[in-house]
Amino acid sequence: MELGLQGKRVLISGGSSGIGLAAARHFLEEGAKVCIMGRTQMRGEAAVAFLQRDFPAAEVFFAAGDVRRQEDGISCVRQMMDRWGGMDVLVNSAGIYQEGALDDLTPAELDDILATNVKGTFYLTQASLTALRSTRGAVVNVASDAGVHGNYFCAAYCASKGAVVLFTRALALELASFGVRVNAIAPGDIMTPLTQAQLQGAPDPQQALREMASVYPLGRIGTPEEAASLIVFLASARAGFITGAIYGVDGGLTA
């Protein structure tokens, strides 16, 4: 299937691991150019080296930045503009996960969740608006099934991803007249480094994985590649009449 992404310029926050890294790989497969934004220089450079092993001629680079800092988002967009002269796609994939009873939630923990998952998405999108309007580009946000329904002992995370869901829908209306499409994916549990760390913290990681998978009608959790494939589709010309949509990637969990 021709997706029309050849030569498109893509910025991916949280692109050095998990869903973001898988999305970067899929975009490169389609002939796009990719800028990965992340907080850690070493991880970012390792991600670029990993991608260039499979795509030695690909145009991909790492821009260090923390989505919680508005000025970092502006800097990353400026680096893209200096290098490639524009931006066609923004993927807001950076995020953090935390669970626990609301009784135990500290102000610092709440601030970090909201600063990363909500403000980070707002700030980087805001920094990209001028570039995206000029190319009639696309935004794909990574929300969560937890932003669509409630999860036990996960109130702050659910609230943050619920904000991303409604931000997506509202921004899609705001930018429609400029030809900019805005959509989101809402993954269930995906085997990312964050999920692996969560499982390794359990007394029996394999049993914990079985219990996690048991709630999904398909009987397993997802892969980063499965989530990334939907991101790439939503950014592509094949999704040209789709905006303001929230697509579940959850093995039937919210059916």
The residues, ordered by sequence, that sit 6+ positions from 252 with a Cβ below 8 Å of its Cβ are 216, 217, 218
157 is catalytic: yes
Strand partners, 190: 222
Q: What are the residue boundaries of the structural domains of the chain, listed by start? A: 9-187+222-247
Lookup: tokens for 61: 């680079």
pLDDT tens digit string along 33-58? 999 999 999 999 999 999 999 999 99
Q: Please tell me what DSSP assigns to residue 177.
A: G
pLDDT tens digit string along 199-226? 998 999 999 999 999 999 999 999 999 9
- pTM of the predicted protein model: 0.97
* pLDDT score at 1: 65
Strand partners, 141: 92, 184
Q: Which residue has the higher pLDDT, 197 or 14?
A: 14
List the catalytic residue out of 97, 123, 157, 247: 157
What's the angle, vertex CA 97, arms to CA 91 and CA 100, rounded to 5? 160
- Evaluate whether the domain defined by 9-187+222-247 bears CATH number 3.40.50.300: no
* pLDDT class of 2 with cuts at 50, 70, 90: confident
The residues, ordered by sequence, that sit 6+ positions from 23 with a Cβ below 8 Å of its Cβ are 12, 15, 91, 93, 227, 228, 231, 232
* pLDDT score at 198: 86
Q: Please tell me what DSSP assigns to residue 106.
A: -
